[in-house]
Amino acid sequence: MNRSNLSVATLLLLSLACSSSETKEEENKSQDMSATYVFLLGTYTDLPEQGIHLASFSPENGFDILTTAPEPENPSFVIANKDQNLIFSVEETSGAEGGNVSSFQLSANDISIINTVSAAGNSPCYLSLDPSEKFLLVGNYSQGNFSVIPVESNGHLNPAVQVVQHEGSSVNPGRQRQPHVHSTVFHPKDGKLLVADLGTDEVVVYNFDSQKEKPLEETPYFRLKVAPGAGPRHMVFNERGDRLYLVHEITAEIGVYHYEDGTIKHLETHSLLQEGFEGTVGAAEVRLSPDGNHLYVSNRGDANEIIGFEVGKNGGLHRIQTLSSEGKAPRNFNITPDGAYVLVGNQNSNTLLAFKRDAKSGLLSITDHQLDIHKPVYINFLP
């Protein structure tokens, strides 16, 4: 073959390769645009027609409300079981009877209530199912306690079989005069229960055995004292379970901790604030991307930002982005199961917004999709 023929052949191969690459990009873009993500949306309520929403988002058509369950008052934290046919929600209320927890049957077009029991404390703000799904753990913020509620196979809730009251305080007189349980999270490998207490600046580790009628060993296995005044709020483990990422709400920070055999050790802390920032703060939610390569945290107050970090090989964090939540009080946000989008709920501006996420860089960019809805405060995807 002469040089001329070789050149033509090479150009042909390059052309085919480029065409194939463009076709794949077009296919990926088409698949991305046709994706539909279904999720539960928890809210604070003022009117009877507000409550738990079953909603969807697609890059092509935006947001849609599929159905609403108006029964619960202030369903600010909503989760589902593994089979996605049961929903559990707090009713974040206070009073002589305390708050409530409710269960619901979920179908394609309907959310119907099963029953309601007492949360055994005021202002329930967090729920988690133990790995066996036999028990629901409820964190009661104002009461400073958490309860263990049995769950029957049909979703029916029984009264709490255990209630653990935290004691103590910390250095911030406006926020930490008493305990404030803010999250209850199970370790992904060993099944221990971790309870973050904003009021006492602690993360308390408990043994948990779902085979027992009273599954919680009420004497703590380990206590982590975080920096005074930090205010631990929400937390998430990496897939291996050896790194814990903990939001410090009051100081607007994200802390990185080493976890091993039920014990926790502080490794590093990163401020969420931009240099020179002045104003009120309130760090809120933390999420890891599905591939574990990036971590995101929201900050409320006068900041109203989403902060992105790259996760290093040793689990450490490197800040990559700070961007506006495009609203007020981003109390909660979540990443679509494929990692392609981030939905952000701005509680005080009554908006739910979609951000595009670049899987390689982890960077977020705002889209033109917005849902105007009353006080969105929790987003839970149904894969």
**Of 307, 298, 289, which Cα lies nearest the Cα of 377?**
298
Which domain does 77 fall in, by range? Answer: 40-381
Q: Which amino acid is at 187?
A: H
List all residues 6 or more positions away from 201 whose beta carbon is below 8 Å from its beta carbon. 170, 171, 176, 225, 226, 227, 228, 229, 230, 231, 232
How many angstroms separate the first and last alpha carbons of the chain? 55
- Mean pLDDT for all residues in the chain: 93
| Contact criterion met (CB below 8 Å) for 76 and 91 | no
Backbone angles phi, psi at 322, to 5 degrees: -130, 125
Q: What is the pLDDT of residue 324?
A: 98
d(CA 225, CA 169): 12
Instruction: Evaluate whether residue 8 is within a structural domain.
Output: no
Instruction: Evaluate whether residue 119 is within a structural domain.
Output: yes
The 10s digit of each residue's pLDDT in 166-198 is: 999 999 999 999 999 999 999 999 999 999 999
Instruction: Evaluate whether residue 27 is within a structural domain.
Output: no
Q: Is 235 exposed, middle or buried (0-12, 13-18, 19+ CB in 10 A)?
A: buried
* Cα angle 246-250-254, degrees, rounded to a multiple of 5: 30
Q: Which amino acid is at 59?
A: P
Residue 250 pLDDT > 90 = yes
Residue 14 pLDDT > 70 = no
Residue 6 pLDDT > 70 = no
Instruction: Evaluate whether residue 2 is within a structural domain.
Output: no
- How many structural domains is the chain composed of? 1
Residue 283 pLDDT > 90 = yes
Q: What is the pLDDT of residue 32?
A: 64
Instruction: Evaluate whether residue 253 is within a structural domain.
Output: yes
Residue 265 pLDDT > 80 = yes
Residue 81 pLDDT > 80 = yes
For residue 85, what is the domain's CATH number?
2.130.10.10
The percent of residues in the chain predicted with pLDDT above 70, rounded, is 91
Backbone angles phi, psi at 74, to 5 degrees: 50, 60
Instruction: Evaluate whether residue 16 is within a structural domain.
Output: no
The residue written with tokens 């939540």 in the block is 325
13: confidence class by pLDDT, cuts 50, 70, 90: very low
Return the structure tokens found at 128.
């988690």
Return the structure tokens found at 241.
């379970």
Instruction: Evaluate whether residue 1 is within a structural domain.
Output: no
The residue written with tokens 């790259």 in the block is 310
**Of 157, 244, 251, 231, which Cα lies nearest the Cα of 194?**
244
Residue 12 pLDDT > 50 = no
Three-state DSSP state, 60: coil
Instruction: Evaluate whether residue 365 is within a structural domain.
Output: yes
Return the structure tokens found at 75.
């369903």
95: confidence class by pLDDT, cuts 50, 70, 90: confident
